[in-house]
Structure formats: C-alpha cells, structure tokens
Amino acid sequence: MTPSPGTGRGPAHRLEATVSRVLKVGTYAGIGLIALGVLLMVVDGRSPLDVAPSLDPGRLPADLAALRPSAFLWLGVLLVLATPPARVLAALIGYLRGSEREMAIVAALILVVIALGVVAGTTGS
C-alpha cells in the first residue's frame, strides 16, 4: 500500500487510527458510565459493593431516563464488553475497503467466534 498523495499517510495508517479511535472511545465511554453509576449510587446512599440488580435490557432506557445507578453501571459494562468486537468490525470494514480479502476473512471469522461465544454464554443454564 502506498501513501495517499500529499498526506504521507496510507490506508494502513488510517485503518490503524480508526481502530485505535474505536478502542479509546469505547473504553473511555464505558468507564465513564461505570464511574457515573458508582457516583449515583454514593449520592443515593448505597454502597458500590451492594449487589446490583440483574440486567434487563428492556428496562435499560427507562432506568437511564430515571437516573438509576444500575442502568449506568450495566450500560458501561456492556459498552466495555462490546468494544473489542467493535474494533474487529472496524478492522473488517477497513480490510474490505482496502481489498485485503484474506484479512477480511480472518476478521469475519473472529466475529463469528465472538458471536458463538455470546450465544453459548447466554443460552446455557
């Protein structure tokens, strides 16, 4: 891959920067949401070490609107967990755009393995 004229940065560098941005934003946003959830718990007079309610994705929007601490904690955890697959997806898109067929296949297979792991982890007893 040759650098784009006048930029000194080629497609590989742009892909690396995009993947890096996905990881940074996902991690910082997730940690920020978890910190906000902990702060809301303390303001509410509860210990962050208390047992949290189980995750109910259907209630998450309403709980966020009601500023319930557990909603921010769960959303932060979900975002931190979703960041690595989002990174692989960003790489997959970059590889497809760059016509790097072999790397795109590897990224797609990694996403399949992640999806199978999620399915196996959520459907087991």
- Give me the pLDDT at residue 9, please: 66
**pTM, entire model:** 0.75
Q: What does the alpha-carbon distance between residue 60 and residue 106 come to, in Å, rounded to a whole number?
A: 34
Tell me the one-letter amino acid at 68.
R
Q: What is the 3-state secondary structure (H, E, C) of 67-98?
A: CCHHHHHHHHHHHHHHHHHHHHHHHHHHHHHC
Tell me, what's the pLDDT at 4? 47
**Residue 18's pLDDT is what?**
82
Per-residue pLDDT of the chain (125 residues; tens, 9 = 90+): 444 444 556 767 787 888 888 889 999 999 999 999 999 999 988 887 888 788 888 999 999 999 999 999 999 999 999 999 999 998 999 899 888 899 999 999 999 999 999 888 888 65
